[in-house]
Amino acid sequence: MSFWKRFARNRGAVLGLVLLLAVIVIALIAPMLYPRGPWPMVQRPFLAPYTVDGLPLGTDTLGRNVAAGLVYGAQVSLLVGLISTVMALLIGVPLGAAAGFYGGWLDEGAMRFTEFFQTIPNFALAIVLVAILEPSLTSITLSIAIVSWPPVARLVRAEVMSVSKREYVDAARLAGLSNLRILVGQVLPNTVSPIIVMASLMVATAILLESSLSFLGLGDPNIMSWGYQIGAARTVIRSAWWLSFFPGLAIVLTVLALNLIGEGLNDALNPHLSRKGRT
Amino acid sequence: MNIAGAVLGRLIKAVLTLLAIAVLNFFLIHAAPGDPAAVLAGEAGAADEQMIADLRAQFGLDQPFYIQLWTYVRNVLTLDLGYSFRQGAPVLELILDRLPATLILTMSAFGISLTCGIMLGVAASARVGKLADSLLTGFALIFYATPLYWAALMAVLVFSVQLGWLPGFGYETVGADYSGFQRVGDILAHLVLPALTLGLFFMAVYMRMTRASMLEVAQQDFVKTARAKGLSPAVIRRRHILRNALLPVVTLAGLQAGQLIGGAVLTETVFAWPGIGRLMFESLAARDYNTILGVFLVSAAMVILFNIVTDIVYRLIDPRIRHSA
Amino acid sequence: MTNPVLSIEHLSIKLPDGADRQFAVDDCSYTLDKGEILCVVGESGSGKSMTANALMGLLPEGVSVGAGRAVFEGKDILRQSEAESQNLRGAKIAMIFQEPMTALNPLMRIGDQISEVFEAHKRHTPSERRKRALDLVREVDLPDPEKIIRAYPFQLSGGQRQRAMIAMALALEPQILIADEPTTALDVTTQAQILKLILDLRKKRDMAVIFITHDFGVVAEIADKVLVMRYGKIVERGTADAVLKNPQHDYTKHLLAAIPSGLVPQNAEVQNSPALEVKALNKVFRTGGGFMKPHREVCAIDNISLSIAKGEVLGLVGESGSGKSTLGRAVVRLVTPDSGQILVGGIDMAALSESELRRARYKVQMVFQDPYASLNPRHKILRALTDGPIAKGVAKEQARSRARELMEIVGLGSDAVDRFPHEFSGGQRQRIGIARALAMDPDLIIADEAVSALDVSIQAQVLDLLRELRSQLNLSILFITHDLRVAAQLCDRIAVMQKGNLVEIGPVSDVFLNPQNDYTQRLLAAVPGGGWDLAKAPLSL
Closest CA to A233 of A69, A29, A97: A69
What is the helix (H) or strand (E) element at residue C46, kind and residue range? none
In this predicted structure, the answer to whether residue B195 has a pLDDT above a threshold of 60 is: yes
**Among the residues of C415-529, which ranges form H helices?**
426-439, 456-473, 484-490, 508-513, 518-526
- Which of C109, C116, C136, C184 to mutate to probe the B interface, most B CBs <10 Å? C116
From CA B266, how far away is CA B284, in angstroms rounded?
13
A273 band by pLDDT with thresholds 50, 70 and 90: very low
From CA A273, how far away is CA C140, in angstroms rounded?
37
State which residue of chain B sits closest to C56, comparing Cα positions. Answer: B228
From CA C265, how far away is CA C491, in angstroms rounded?
9
Q: Which chains touch C (3 or more CB pairs under 8 A)?
A: A, B
Nearest-neighbour CA in chain B from C105: distance (Å):
5
Contact (CB<8Å) C332/A174: yes
B84 band by pLDDT with thresholds 50, 70 and 90: confident
Cβ–Cβ < 8 Å for C331, C323:
no
Nearest-neighbour CA in chain A from C392: distance (Å):
7
3-state secondary structure of C40: strand
Contact (CB<8Å) C368/A171: yes
Q: Which residues of A250-279 are buried (b: 16+ CB within 10 A; e: fewer)?
A: bbbbbbbbbbbbbbbbbbbbeeeeeeeeee
Contact (CB<8Å) A212/B145: no
Closest CA to A252 of B138, C214, C206: B138
Q: What pLDDT score does C271 carry?
A: 60
Residue C176's Cβ-side half-sphere holds a number of Cα atoms within 13 Å equal to: 23
Contact (CB<8Å) C296/B225: no
Closest CA to C261 of C456, C511, C506: C456
From CA C105, how far away is CA B243, in angstroms rounded?
10
In this predicted structure, the answer to whether residue A274 has a pLDDT above a threshold of 50 is: no
**Which residues does C contribute to its contact with A (CB < 8 Å)?**
332, 334, 358-359, 361-362, 364-366, 368-370, 373-378, 384, 387-388, 391-392, 433, 436, 440
Which is it for strands C225-230 and C37-41: parallel, antiparallel or unpaired?
Answer: parallel
3-state secondary structure of A122: helix
Contact (CB<8Å) A122/B262: yes
B78 band by pLDDT with thresholds 50, 70 and 90: confident
From CA A170, how far away is CA A177, in angstroms rounded?
10
- ∠ CA C367-C370-C373, nearest 5°, is 100
**Residue in C88, C104, C152 closest to B319 by CB:** C152
Rg (chain B; Cα; Å):
24
pTM for the predicted model, two decimal places:
0.86
Contact (CB<8Å) B145/A234: no
Contact (CB<8Å) B147/A212: yes
Nearest-neighbour CA in chain A from B179: distance (Å):
30
Q: Average pLDDT, stretch A152-157?
A: 95
Angle in degrees, 0-180, between the axes of helices B131-145 and A241-269, rounded to the nearest 10: 120
Tell me the backbone φ, ψ of residue C45, rounded to 5 degrees: 85, 5
**Chain A positions in Cβ-Cβ contact with residue B245 (cut-off 8 Å):** none
**Chain B positions in Cβ-Cβ contact with residue C90 (cut-off 8 Å):** 228-231
Neighbours of A35 (CB within 10 A): 8
Q: What pLDDT score does C292 carry?
A: 52
Contact (CB<8Å) B224/C88: no
From CA C467, how far away is CA C461, in angstroms rounded?
10
Q: What pLDDT score does C408 carry?
A: 92
Q: For the segment A224-266, what is each residue's pLDDT rounded down to a tens digit?
A: 999 999 998 888 888 888 888 999 999 999 999 999 999 888 8
**Which residues does B contribute to its contact with C (CB < 8 Å)?**
1, 5, 8-9, 220-222, 224-232, 235, 239-240, 243-244, 317-320, 323, 325
From first CA to last CA, the distance across chain A in angstroms is: 23
Contact (CB<8Å) C294/B1: no
Q: Which chains touch A (3 or more CB pairs under 8 A)?
A: B, C
**Residue in C88, C117, C291 closest to B9 by CB:** C291
Contact (CB<8Å) A175/C361: yes
A61 band by pLDDT with thresholds 50, 70 and 90: confident
Q: For the segment A121-137, what is each residue's pLDDT rounded down to a tens digit?
A: 889 999 999 988 889 99
| Chains A, C: CB pairs < 8 Å | 59
- ∠ CA A246-A251-A252, nearest 5°, is 95
Q: What pLDDT score does A271 carry?
A: 59
Q: What pLDDT score does A183 carry?
A: 94
**Chain B positions in Cβ-Cβ contact with residue A158 (cut-off 8 Å):** none
**Chain B positions in Cβ-Cβ contact with residue A212 (cut-off 8 Å):** 147-149, 266
Angle in degrees, 0-180, between the axes of helices A192-215 and B257-271, rounded to the nearest 10: 30
From CA C150, how far away is CA C142, in angstroms rounded?
13
**Chain C positions in Cβ-Cβ contact with residue B226 (cut-off 8 Å):** 105, 116
Closest CA to B283 of B85, B125, B25, B66: B85
From CA C253, how far away is CA B243, in angstroms rounded?
49
B324 band by pLDDT with thresholds 50, 70 and 90: low
Contact (CB<8Å) C107/B229: no
State which residue of chain A sits closest to B262, comparing Cα positions. Answer: A123
Contact (CB<8Å) C366/A168: no
Nearest-neighbour CA in chain C from A155: distance (Å):
20
The dihedral sign for the CA sequence C521, C526, C531, C535: negative
Cβ–Cβ < 8 Å for C262, C534:
yes
From CA C363, how far away is CA C274, in angstroms rounded?
13
The residue length of chain B stands at 325
Which is it for strands C274-290 and C93-96: parallel, antiparallel or unpaired?
Answer: unpaired
Cβ–Cβ < 8 Å for C328, C437:
no
CA dihedral C55, C56, C57, C61 (to 10 degrees): -100
**Residue in A173, A175, A178 closest to C334 by CB:** A173
From CA C260, how far away is CA C451, in angstroms rounded?
11
3-state secondary structure of C274: strand
Q: What pLDDT score does A275 carry?
A: 34
Q: Which residues contact C30 (CB under 8 A, 6 or more apart)?
A: C7, C8, C38, C227, C234, C237
Q: For the segment A156-190, what is each residue's pLDDT rounded down to a tens digit?
A: 999 999 999 999 999 999 998 999 999 999 999 99
State which residue of chain A sits closest to B287, comparing Cα positions. Answer: A131
Q: Which chains touch B (3 or more CB pairs under 8 A)?
A: A, C
Q: Which residues contact B41 (CB under 8 A, 6 or more apart)?
A: B47, B51, B52, B55, B85
Q: What pLDDT score does A214 carry?
A: 93
State which residue of chain B sits closest to A209, comparing Cα positions. Answer: B147
Closest CA to C165 of C211, C118, C115, C100: C100
Nearest-neighbour CA in chain A from C492: distance (Å):
26
**Residue in B226, B227, B320 closest to C106 by CB:** B320
The dihedral sign for the CA sequence B64, B66, B67, B71: positive
Residue B233's Cβ-side half-sphere holds a number of Cα atoms within 13 Å equal to: 7
- ∠ CA C316-C320-C321, nearest 5°, is 95
* pLDDT above 70 as % of chain B: 93
Cβ–Cβ < 8 Å for A172, C437:
no
**Chain A positions in Cβ-Cβ contact with residue B299 (cut-off 8 Å):** 121, 124
Angle in degrees, 0-180, between the axes of helices B3-31 and A104-119, rounded to the nearest 10: 80
Q: What pLDDT score does C294 carry?
A: 61
Q: Which of A216-220, B40-44, B310-314, C55-59 has the lowest mean pLDDT?
A: B40-44
Q: Which residues contact A55 (CB under 8 A, 6 or more apart)?
A: A42, A43, A47, A49, A65, A66, A67
Closest CA to A248 of A235, A261, A229: A229
- Which of A167, A192, A274 to mutate to probe the C interface, most C CBs <10 Å? A167
Q: Average pLDDT, stretch B21-45?
A: 75
Angle in degrees, 0-180, between the axes of helices B221-228 and C158-170, rounded to the nearest 10: 20
Contacts of residues B63-66 at CB distance under 8 Å and 24 or more positions apart, as own/partner, are: none
Contact (CB<8Å) B325/C121: no
**Which residues does A contribute to its contact with C (CB < 8 Å)?**
166-168, 170-178, 186, 189-190
Neighbours of B29 (CB within 10 A): 21
- Which of A23, A116, A119 to mutate to probe the B interface, most B CBs <10 Å? A119
The residue ranges of chain C whose pLDDT is under 50 are 1, 265, 532, 534-541
Q: Which residues of B282-294 are buried (b: 16+ CB within 10 A; e: fewer)?
A: bbbebbbbbbbbb
Cβ–Cβ < 8 Å for A256, B145:
yes
Contact (CB<8Å) A176/C359: yes
Tell me whether A118 touches chain B (CB under 8 Å): yes
State which residue of chain A sits closest to B212, comparing Cα positions. Answer: A274
* pLDDT above 70 as % of chain A: 96
Q: For the segment A104-121, what is each residue's pLDDT rounded down to a tens digit?
A: 899 999 999 998 998 888
Amino acid at B267: T
**Chain B positions in Cβ-Cβ contact with residue A244 (cut-off 8 Å):** 150, 153-154, 157
Contact (CB<8Å) A171/C436: yes
CA distances C21 to B130, C16, C233, Å, are 29, 9, 12
